[in-house]
Amino acid sequence: MRERIFVVGVGLTKISRWYNRSARDLFSEAMKKAIEDAGGLKPKALVVGNMTSGVLMEQESIGALMADYSGLRGIPAFKVEAACGSGGAAFYTGYSLLGSGLVDVVAVGGIEKLTEKLTSDATFALAMAADREYEVFYGASFTGLNALVARLYMSKYGYTREDMAYWPLRMHEYASYNPYAQLPRKTDLKTILNSPVVADPLHLFDCSPLGDGAAVVILVRGEEKAREVAKTMGRDTLVEVIGLGFATDSVDLGSREDLLTLKSTVVAAREAYEMAGVTPKNIDYVEVHDAFHITGYLALEDLGFAGKGEAVKLWKEGRFGKGDKPEVNFSGGLKARGHPVGATGVYQIAEVVMQLRGDFPGYKASDPEIGLAQNIGGIATYSTVAILSRRR
């Protein structure tokens, strides 16, 4: 019988361009908050999601470094890299450690410092999520590749730039309530449409910003230990990980069967739904990976919440908002909450946990019982899908 695993603590930093703070400073803040949120329970192992430390920070040994500066010197600690999906991959790894029986308390963290060097350096580092030999060598940027997918989607299904712009419009609305958000301000369609071109048809407001941040969640094995933490913290709610899936696709887009299907998300979602014993109709709240508006729309379709080509139409009509099922990205998403790459997947898990517990400090969901987080690396070269459930 599979071990029952629970998330008992979360800790986040505000996402920003933290020129005056180091990665170890940000991470230790998130770890301290997570341990406090777990009633003082300290992890016996640490898994850290990160993508660009070797290139932008010129620093590897991230696992040991973050453990040391978080007051956890000596515990097993290592880095997991899966491009922009590193946080989700770290969560998958942390869950597996608990399931193996090696340890009974694991911290899963994510950290990224994208502002250590120039924006051009960060763009180069992020392009490593693409195929160096077959894409980047010929001048393709990661934004440019997403732009190709967006253009194909718009052409195939007959959508305009204004139709697509309703995604960032709503993300900025939600982020305005989120104290952790990098861009906590509302905007309007005119501003979105008139923002500078990054890679046609993507404009600045269609893309997530560069930023720094750290997030940590603490997981335990066994309901008894989870209830001990809940009692210490005066909570009557547990959050259990009931489904988890992880899949990959080709790195280069040219090898794919269908550019408008995130195949790894489809596979990972199928695995997670089967493990959890639920269907898309059972999901109340979702955090999807919207590094660009196109990835948000595709995620809704490939997770089973909309038919192919229908997500933009449904979103524009007001679906997936307050009172609908599922409610989506009340954090503001990567688009406005921010996208500190290797930490993003852990932010998503933490946000789903807080929504299920009812203590998210921003725009609150409508009393959800089952939540889902989808984190991708590259253009879904990697996908993790986690399903969490509220337990009384």
Active-site positions read: 84, 339
- Max CA distance (Å), the chain: 57
How far apart are alpha carbons 282 and 39 in whole angstroms? Answer: 31
Burial class (CB in 10 A: 0-12, 13-18, 19+), 261: middle
Asked if 300 and 285 touch (Cβ cutoff 8 Å), the reply is: no
Strands ordered across the beta sheet of 77-80: 77-80, 46-49, 105-113, 212-221, 5-12, 238-248, 382-391, 370-377, 285-287, 327-328
The single residue listed with the structure tokens 């695995």 is 271
Distant-in-sequence, close-in-space partners of 162: CB < 8 Å, separation ≥ 6: 189, 193
DSSP class of residue 155 equals: H
Burial class (CB in 10 A: 0-12, 13-18, 19+), 119: exposed
Tell me, what amino acid is at 152? L
How far apart are alpha carbons 260 and 230 in whole angstroms? Answer: 43
Distant-in-sequence, close-in-space partners of 234: CB < 8 Å, separation ≥ 6: none
